[in-house]
Structure 1
Amino acid sequence: MKASDSRLQTASLEEIKRGYVEEGMAYSCICCGFTTEPGIVYPDEGVLYDAVRYMGVHIEKVHGSVFEYLLELDKSVTGLSDVQRGLLAQFYEGKKDAEVQQALGIGSASTIRNHRFVLKEKERQAKIFLALMELLKNKDLHAPATWVSPIMKQGHTIHQRSFEISEEERERVLRSYFPEGISGPMTTFHMQQKHKFIVLTEIAKRFEPRRQYTEKQVNTLLEKVHADYVEIRRYLVDYGLLERKEDGSQYWLGSAAEEQGNGRGDGKQPKGSSAKLTDNSAESLTMEQQVPEERAGKGEKSMNRRKELQEQAKEVKTEAGVYQIRNERNGKVYIDSTPNLKTINGQQFMLQMGSHLNRRLQAEWNEYGESAFTIEVLEVMKKDDNPYADPKDALAKCLESWFEKLEPYGDRGYHGEPKPSN
């Protein structure tokens, strides 16, 4: 699971819609993990932005929109069929029913209207389901979260019996991810579920039993394990290896740590005030005394990284336009428009996966093979300086003109014949 996937899982509905979450003193993009920080001014094309507004600029330039990013997620996440996904993409571009039918080559305009009704019905059902889950959580504290991570759970804990792990396999996995030894850094956190279980139970051993940690202390400890310490922290909590207060102010070793054979902790919150530590507090103070020096080095690296990301964002230019997918064997073409031409590679990916929304095109792709097709841009839209210009309308007219030029119907293309106007 990528860091962005983890953010998406824990984000609220409002955070998902706006495309970023607040993490400490930073804003993180749920699509890719790009961060901005309050107090920093971000220049872009002669305009200065604060952290929040620049996050919006980043999302638009790199991802097109939050809508486009979410729509490209796997159907196991969205619950949408390929046809529904294609329809939503067309509706988002503001196309009329006849234009959608022409682009997708399915049914008629009345068929598209029926699909609109089905999607609205799905929306109403989703609202009721969310309301039911909220009411259930209020009634039952043990009800599942709005989005449950795809991990094997019994109550709150991942049990070792969920996996068959020999001591030899455990040591082999740890050597693979901790080449400098189990007390050293980890190479990556992108791994299969079983390996993640082994790695996390080992990381949990770095925490002391019956001791409270602030979030800052947890982060400082986990930073030495891997740069993506926020995701690791979340997984430790998900697996029950760490437990925390609802506001995230205090963490302690969870009951799962003892159940996994770590010999650590009893899973109960330590007694006493949140500021009170165990007999190891002297060691903690030593660590805190070292933080300013470490912070200076990390702060410089963080600033350099931010500058690098800002420069990359400046270089990313989005262009709207019309493109075609052409069958070189028989000359048939499929044409469509997009507000971001950088996303047309997604068309090739869908064809490779056998999930393209135009069934006629997909059938011939399967028959002739990938080498028989080319994807090319037909026209790039020029930016209109007129503040009253409607870019969506201009793009729709551009696509319509290409339909008139190429007439991609019947033996010439993969689109359904246009309905005669009354």
Structure 2
Amino acid sequence: MTTLTNLTQERRLVTAIPGPKSTEALKRRTEATSGGLGMAIPVVIERASDAILLDIDGNQIIDLGSGIGVTNVGNAAQRVVDRVIEQVQAFTHTCFTVAPYMNYIEVCEKLNAMTPGSHKKKSLLVNSGAEAVENAVKIARHYTKRPAIVVFEHSYHGRTNLTMALTAKNMPYKEGFGPFAPEIYRVPMPYSFHWVGDQATITEDAIDMVTHKIDKEIGAHNVAAILIEPIQGEGGFIVPPKGFLPALAKYSKDNGIVFIADEVQTGFARTGHMFAVEEEGVVPDMVVTAKGIAGGLPLAAVTGRAEVMDSVHASGLGGTYGGNPIACAAALGAMETIEEENLVARAKHIGEILGSSLRELAKKYPVIGEVRGRGAMQAIELVEPGTKNPNTAAMGVVVKYCQSQGVLVLTAGTYSNVVRFLPPLVITDELLKDALSVLDDAFASL
């Protein structure tokens, strides 16, 4: 099969960023596209492979964002490309609920086998993380015959009407877009860095607060589902303290509540486990996946206990494009890549390099208030030195400096002061260390 030559995995700048061609193209972007669309780095990409983005000016940029945690297996991964070409030559669409096809079934079989738990599971494929979350909520409500959904402070679950209601942060996700769907209840998230109280008892205190609010303000018997990200993504890579997720899962089971893990950003080897809940042996009733599932093509899934997934009447679930055959082919290629290249272990290795380097930076620069995360999903929270006050200005300077030197990093956080790192799991040690040296220079520039 004929393929383009892969890009050399090295950072290379031939113009300033943005270069003249990107500058002109971005003028056309402004004229042609909605002003409501953001932009992380002011370049236009021509090609990409593994952890390098090539812009139209010829600059090679190190990608530490993976398209927001999507290209876990690397950009244009060979197994993904080969399967997509084969599928697009066979057929492009029939709609699975009209005329089924095998690779939808195969993706579901793999999801049922790889998600946590030995119980009987079934899956549903859709197009995006937000659509998968919506379907998980629909199914949980249908199964339990209850209305209420419990979510957490600092959470992010999508941009549709229901998922905006589930999402915590107002700006930019919710501002001006209401009213939102009802029967959504938000409870405290143990954000250790900003937790007021005894750090030694944070898990116990947080569980007491959460369960008290559910019992007294909602009524556990009214709750269809508890929905949580095992590590919060857009909220700033907030890692729940040890014991919190297992306690939530137990409370859910004891009260007939469907426990849903939103693994959209944490799934598919990202954290050094195939799914982040495996860190503490948690077995959710439902797992929501997207992003890293298909190597860059739009696909998402809900995988859950068979009795829960089968509780919905025939034709109650579905959608024209859900589980598109080309996206399913890409997912099979991505799953093969994760397994055959042992990317779970690779994510742990990346985490060791990333974590140790970020902690060294924190010792040098007091503007770094905390380093947190797991595997190839880590972040630094920037503060005014000597305080825990958010330092959004410093974040902006650091990100802009990295961009100017050919390193793409992303931001996050309820307080808009977190720099997050989501490198492709195939990034070389040398390329990662080069990017981290640029990050060091960025902080020195402050």
Report the structure number with the largest CA radius of gyration. Answer: 1
More strand by share: 2
Question: Taking structure 1 as the reference length, what is the TM-score of the superposition?
Answer: 0.21
TM-score, L = length of structure 2: 0.21
Which structure has the higher relative contact order (CA within 8 Å, separation 6+)? 2
